Amino acid sequence: MLNGVSAPNINNIIVVGDEGKIFRSTDGGSTWIRQNSGTQNTLEKVFFIDSLTGWAYGNGGEIIHTLNAGYSWVNPTFSDSLHFITIPNPSNTLITLTYNLPEDQHVTLTMYDIQGKLILSPLTNIIQLQGQQSVQIDVHSIPSGSYIIRFQSEQYQTVISCSVVH
C-alpha cells in the first residue's frame, strides 16, 4: 500500500508506503523507480521543504531524510547530547522545546506541516549560549495536525515531531 506523496517540483515526485517502500519519478509520473529507504517500517508521509531537502516518517517513530531530491535516504543522526524535550505534546496553545547546547552557536528553528509547508520560524540564525535553552512556540492559531520542527545549528541538524490538537 502507498500512503504519502510529495512533489518537490513538476518532474520529481516521491511516493512512500508500507514496508519502507519509496518510489521516485523524475518525469512527472510517467515512469517510477524504487528507491532504497534503509527501513522496513511503514512510511506514512513524505514532504519536501525545497527541491532537494525532504523527510519521510512513519510507524515506530521512523524518520528518514534526503538532501538530494530523493535519490538517497538516510536516518538523520539524532544527538542525545542535545536532550530535546517537547512539552506538552500534543498541545493546543504553547509548545516548549527545551534542549542543551554544548557550546555557543547560531540556531534556527522552523516548523512545517506534513505537506512541507513552512508554518513558523520561531528562531532564525540566533546566537544561543552554551547550556540549557528553552523556546516557546505559539500554536494556538495553527490547525490541529502533525508537524515537524527542524532544529539546525552549526554542529547539529535534526527534526522533532509534534502534534497540535484543538
Sequential pLDDT tens for the chain (166 residues): 999 999 988 899 999 999 999 999 999 999 999 998 888 889 999 988 888 888 898 876 778 888 888 888 887 655 556 777 888 888 999 999 988 888 899 999 999 988 888 999 999 999 999 888 999 999 999 999 989 898 988 878 788 888 899 8
pLDDT of residue 77: 54
Decide if 35 contacts 22 (C-beta within 8 A).
yes
From residue 86, give the alpha-carbon distance in Å to each of 14, 94, 113, 120, 148: 29, 10, 17, 16, 12
pLDDT of residue 142: 94
Decide if 118 contacts 49 (C-beta within 8 A).
yes
pLDDT of residue 78: 52
Kindly give, in sequence order, each residue whose CB lies less than 8 Å from that of residue 141, ignoring residues fewer than 6 positions away.
none
pLDDT of residue 46: 92
